[in-house]
Amino acid sequence: MNTEEVELLSDSKYRNYVAAVDKVLKNFEYSSEWADLISALGKLNKVLQNNAKYQVVPKKLTIGKRLAQCLHPALPSGVHRKALETYEIIFKIIGPKRLAKDLFLYSSGLFPLLSNAAMSVKPVLLGLYETYYLPLGKTLKPGLQGLLTGVLPGLEEGSEYYDRTNTLLEKVAAAVEQSAFYSALWGSILTSPSVRLPGVSFVLLHLNRKLSMEDQLYVMGSDIELMVEAVSTSVQDSSVLVQRSTLDLILFCFPFHMSQVNNLYERFVL
């Protein structure tokens, strides 16, 4: 419990708010079917909305845990949509500064969702990112790699939400600075095989072929070793499509005369 919440406990109405949240959260413990979860989320939403004047949401750790559980891929889209309603209510209440502070608390459930989400859920999730995450600007950086790993699956060729996802990523890059964005992108490509193809494809799409790499070094990010490791791992990926895209990236972007990527070729030779 933080200092702000402790101070609010002197307010009897806030104490009633805490008690109401406690009571509602117990409904999740007794939920045995997905319909029970929707009912529990509806009750939680009502309590939150009735106390929206308080920007400090009580029991936020437990709420974050329950919301993440409600976004489990095995649950139906109706539960996912209801949980996203709860996220939006909370984000409206707490505002951007508190969201930035509690980014990991609420993002742990959201970031893995897009790759498993139903078509009816995807636009709602993207809307949350556009409305509440983008305005965070540079304060997104601590959770940037997680965000990119969560959003990149939306760049599936032919997908209904391809353009919207691409635009979102471009805006994120502008919000956090290009170098930080690409560092996080290479981190995602390195650690998450499932996003290697859309990640490398994004880099290829956004390179200016009329400029030399020296004129767009931000694409390498702020950690050259991380980029080298990501490219090296991708070119050895089990997917032929990932291998081809990575080789295209190497051929177009990293010519042999570039001093910045000598280590890349040394790694392949070794």
Which residues, 6+ apart, have CB-to-CB distance to 152 below 8 Å? 165, 169, 188, 195, 198, 199, 202
The pLDDT score that the predictor gives to residue 257 is 53
Report the pLDDT value the prediction gives residue 263, as an integer from 0 to 100: 54
- Burial class from Cβ neighbours inside 10 Å (0-12, 13-18, 19+) for residue 248 reads middle
- The token pair that represents 70 in the structure block: 């409600």
Report DSSP letters for 216-262, one per residue: GGGGG-S-HHHHHHHHHHHHT-S-HHHHHHHHHHHHHH--TT-GGGH
Supply the pLDDT for residue 6: 83
pLDDT, tens digit, for every residue of 72-102? 999 999 999 999 999 999 999 999 999 999 9
- Predicted confidence at residue 3, as pLDDT, reads 76
Residues of the chain with pLDDT under 70: 1, 255-270
pLDDT attached to residue 74: 92
Rounded CA separation 234/106 (Å) = 30
Residue 21 near residue 59 (C-beta atoms within 8 A):
yes
Asked whether the beta carbons of 217 and 250 are under 8 A apart, the reply is: no
Read off the tokens for 51. 């106390």
Q: Could you give the CA distance from residue 149 to residue 187 in angstroms, rounded to a whole number?
A: 9
- The interaxial angle of helices 240-253 and 196-206, nearest 10 deg, is 30
Q: What is the pLDDT of residue 119?
A: 93
* Dist. CA 101–CA 112, nearest whole Å: 20
In sequence order, what DSSP letters do the residues of 33-73 get, joined into one string?
SHHHHHHHHHHHHHHHHHTTT-SS-TTHHHHHHHHHHHT-T
